[in-house]
Amino acid sequence: MADTTLMDKLVSLAKRRGFVFQSSEIYGGLGSVWDYGPLGVELKKNLKERWWRSMVHERDDIEGLDAAILMHPRVWEASGHVAGFTDPLIDCKICKNRFRSDDERIKGEPGTPTGQCPVCGNKGSLTEPRLFNLMFKTFMGPVEEAAAQIYLRPETAQGIYVNYLNVQQSSRQKVPFGIAQIGKAFRNEINPGNFIFRTREFEQMEMQFFVKPGEDHTWFEYWRARRMEWLVALGITPAKLRFHQHGPSELAHYAKDAYDIEYEFPFGWKEFEGIHNRGNYDLSKHQEFSGKKLDYLDTVTNERFVPFVVETSIGADRLALVTMMDAYAEEAVEGETRVVLRFNPAIAPIKAGVFPLVKKDGMPEIARKIYDDLRAQMPSFYDESGAIGRRYRRQDEAGTPFGVTVDGQTLTDQTVTVRHRDSMVQERVSADKLAAWLRERLGR
Ligand code: GAP
């Protein structure tokens, strides 16, 4: 499969099967904003739950938080986002198209009067680069004046920093400990695109780990290893994952050291998770700007210090794209092309499809009863329309790991056919043991 077409195929499958729709589609769409349909919302929820379980529920040293999207505007001055969260922007004076100055299409052209604008073809029409802040602004209260201007958060991390002592004291944690959060973030990206890869509204899953200064490098290496392990356990092809260490010119304004975890997309190796050693940049800035002490008292050594922060940050939407892309396969089966999403069963939106082979001989009634029992235990789907082969294919496209068919033999020995999505192998399972059989294979 040519890689350029993989993306088109995935976008079309996502729409056709209800994973992802363009926002406000009937109005022509809103640029780089997407909505999750019935299957997409389940996939993303499964990814978020799995992340939350591994960060918060399975550990004693990380607490959860759900901070508001809107924060005091001084937060973003302290964090450096008002001054530094900018992209250099170049406009074409004639066709009004906008480019980031590192855009491949205008390489070497800004400031050169002979430069040709890549969209309209005019020469010398590009402006000098200007800094453009990526934060969305809005107004709090009824008067639209500068004093009431606030921002939609561009990262969830700051909600954690300003609450770190609230969480530490209320949960009686001791450094080292972490705070995890899942929530929306907003960036007015200049060049969004590649479907849900770079959007203007997205969800982040971030964890900030507070450590004693000097122990930050050890924890940084610890989290780097844990995060790669988690992604591999999720079922992502290891050969399509790699680390990329930031060079001095790539480091964000807050970072001492940083690694991206990259996936090999059809449009190249790209970041979808970042592990950052943020030092004490954020906490000391909040201390300075708020005038409140944010140091930590180590009750064993009696030392006071502002903790260093090791952050892991992954986009839920970008991870959803990685899992869909990695799961997508096409196979020739009986002269037809079978499209299948080979999701890890734990993240599949639907766990089992239930089908009567034919709509007679009491098969629909038995299948319906099995479905009613199953859906109370796991997301399931009932389908009695069309040839059985077509019903299997529909579930293959949705990534459903198991197909359960009630057939002639069910009427005599109370067993059903269970078809495995990936191998298409079929086996017989006793109807009364089916739920337990599936739960065992789904790790539920
Ligand atoms: N708190 C650190 C932080 O926000 P980042 O590298 O700017 O770091 C972290 O973002 C992750 O958030 C990225 O690896 C990506 O998965 C996701 N992300 C960032 N910008 C995004 C966008 N415009 N659309 C979708 N996901 C985005």
Q: What was the pLDDT predicted at 192?
A: 86
Using the predicted structure, report yes or no on whether residue 53 has a pLDDT greater than 90.
yes
Using the predicted structure, report yes or no on whether residue 389 has a pLDDT greater than 60.
yes
Q: Is pLDDT larger for residue 121 or for residue 212?
A: 212
Instruction: Tell whether ligand 1 has an atom less than 6 A from the beta carbon of residue 42.
Output: no
Q: What was the pLDDT predicted at 190?
A: 87
Using the predicted structure, report yes or no on whether residue 409 has a pLDDT greater than 90.
yes
In ligand 1, which atom is closest to the CA atom of 200? 23
Considering only CA atoms, which residue is closest to atom 10 of ligand 1? 313
Residue 77 lies in a domain: no
Å from CA of 185 to ligand 1 middle: 9
Instruction: Tell whether ligand 1 has an atom less than 6 A from the beta carbon of residue 279.
Output: no
Residue 80 lies in a domain: no
Residue 167 lies in a domain: yes
Residue 75 lies in a domain: no
Pocket test for ligand 1, best of 134, 155, 195, 262 (most atoms within 8 A of CB): 155
Whether cis (ω within 30° of 0) applies to the bond prior to 176 is yes
Å from CA of 315 to ligand 1 middle: 6
The answer to whether residues 82 and 70 touch, using CB atoms and an 8 Å cutoff, is no
Residue 251 lies in a domain: yes
**CATH assignment at residue 259:** 3.30.930.10
Pocket test for ligand 1, best of 81, 187, 269, 318 (most atoms within 8 A of CB): 318
Å from CA of 370 to ligand 1 middle: 43
Residue 233 lies in a domain: yes
Q: What was the pLDDT predicted at 113?
A: 42
Domain shared by 129 and 161, yes or no: no
**CATH assignment at residue 92:** 2.20.28
**Reported confidence tier of residue 133, pLDDT bands at 50, 70, 90:** very high
Residue 145 lies in a domain: no
Distance (Å) of CA 202 to CA 86, 132, 272, 340: 18, 20, 12, 26
Tell me which residue of 435, 425, 353, 357 sits closest to 396, measured CA to CA.
353
Considering only CA atoms, which residue is closest to atom 19 of ligand 1? 315
Residue 344 lies in a domain: no
Domain shared by 37 and 90, yes or no: no
Instruction: Tell whether ligand 1 has an atom less than 6 A from the beta carbon of residue 315.
Output: yes
Mean of pLDDT values over 277-284: 97
Say whether 338 sits in a helix, a strand or coil: strand
Q: What was the pLDDT predicted at 14?
A: 98
**Reported confidence tier of residue 44, pLDDT bands at 50, 70, 90:** very high
Q: What was the pLDDT predicted at 4?
A: 62
Å from CA of 261 to ligand 1 middle: 12
Q: What was the pLDDT predicted at 144?
A: 78
The distance between the two most distant Cα atoms of the chain, rounded to a whole number of Å, is 83
**Reported confidence tier of residue 253, pLDDT bands at 50, 70, 90:** confident
Domain shared by 187 and 58, yes or no: yes
Domain that holds residue 119: 86-133
Give pTM, 2 decimals: 0.94
> How many C-beta atoms lie closer than 10 Å to residue 119's C-beta?
16
Say how many domains are in the chain: 3
Query: Tens digits of per-residue pLDDT, 314-325?
Result: 999 999 999 999
Q: What is the C-alpha to C-alpha distance for residues 241 and 225, in angstroms, rounded to an integer?
A: 13
